[in-house]
Amino acid sequence: MEKIPAACAMGWSIELEKGLRSRKPGHSIEAINLIGPRLKQWSREPQTTMAVYNMYALVPGEDRLFADTILLRLADAFVSGNRETKISVMRVFLSILRQCKRNDRQAHGIFTNMSLENRLELLRRVKVVLTAESVESRALTLVLLGCWADIATDVAEIRHAILSTLLSCHVLEVKASLFAAGCYSENSDDFASVFLESLLKLMNSSKTLPALRICGARTFSKMGCSTVLAMKAYKMKGVKTVSADYLANFASGYACGAF
């Protein structure tokens, strides 16, 4: 009988730890790349029932403990690792995010049932990189936090960091902030409403580069089909020039009877 992810959790956690601790060149990256598909597989699995626990002789909840350990180890690797390590960790979660979107979020997700304490600890460990000297490191952190929108949307400190970075003078950092803000807007109309004002100011600024305008315009489509947001976008200055994609999205929503 093929083992399910819950039954493999201990082994996967141990393998990841050994790989990250290895001093052999490339072994830590290999370990991260190996755990990525495993976490994607785990995200596709339904919630583990008591019957399944009994079938595999598992202790209920033990698999969640190992899942949390894996996620925290990846966070530590991201914080302490070099550029290649940070990119590898970010790609793991970006891949999981894309999978969830393709499945219309039918998968239960790797963060499901993660304790509030561990969620906050995960964010606490990673957010220190937002103050790094490297612009690329800060940008990668913003993308990672965007992938973690399911557990961070309501965290005021993270929300503020994403919105304030829209004012950065570094294009790479602003693009990463737009990505993260788009992810949070999908989860929260409240955040989307605040973000909309910042986004339109960015789009209307004469100092905004064309590349950022394009990136910003694409972000409008992530704000859903809220009537309140539609009216807010329509009333704000510059809507005809900066939010055509956004209003088109609302128009299609009306046509489909979404409102």
The share of the chain scoring above pLDDT 70, in percent, equals 83
pLDDT above 90 covers what percent of the chain? 59
Report the chain's mean pLDDT, rounded to a whole number: 85
Residue 71 has a pLDDT of 97
Lowest-pLDDT choice from 42-46, 116-120, 204-208, 230-234: 230-234
pLDDT digits 0-9 by tens, 62-73: 999 999 999 999
Q: Which residues are CB-neighbours of 239 under 8 A, at least 6 positions away?
A: 200, 233, 247
**What is the pTM (predicted TM-score) of this model?**
0.85
Q: Say which residues have a Cβ less than 8 Å from residue 74's Cβ, sequence separation at least 6.
A: 16, 32, 35, 89, 92
228-to-200, 208, 220, 225, 233 alpha-carbon distances in Å: 16, 26, 14, 9, 9
CA-based nearest residue to 192, from 174, 210, 178: 178
59: alpha, beta or left, given left = phi > 0 and alpha = psi -120 to 50? beta
For the stretch 213-239, pLDDT in tens is: 889 888 877 776 555 665 666 565 444
pLDDT digits (tens, 9 = 90+) for 23-34: 999 999 999 999
Cα(193)–Cα(33) distance, integer angstroms: 37
Q: How much is the pLDDT for 101?
A: 76
pLDDT at 231: 61
Strands (E), 61-213: none
pLDDT band at 119 (very low <50, low <70, confident <90, very high): very high
SS3 60: coil
> Per CATH, is 115-259 categorized as 1.25.10.10?
yes
What local confidence, expressed as pLDDT, does residue 254 receive? 35
Which one has a higher pLDDT value, 223 or 212?
A: 212
Chain region(s) in the chain for CATH 1.25.10.10: 115-259
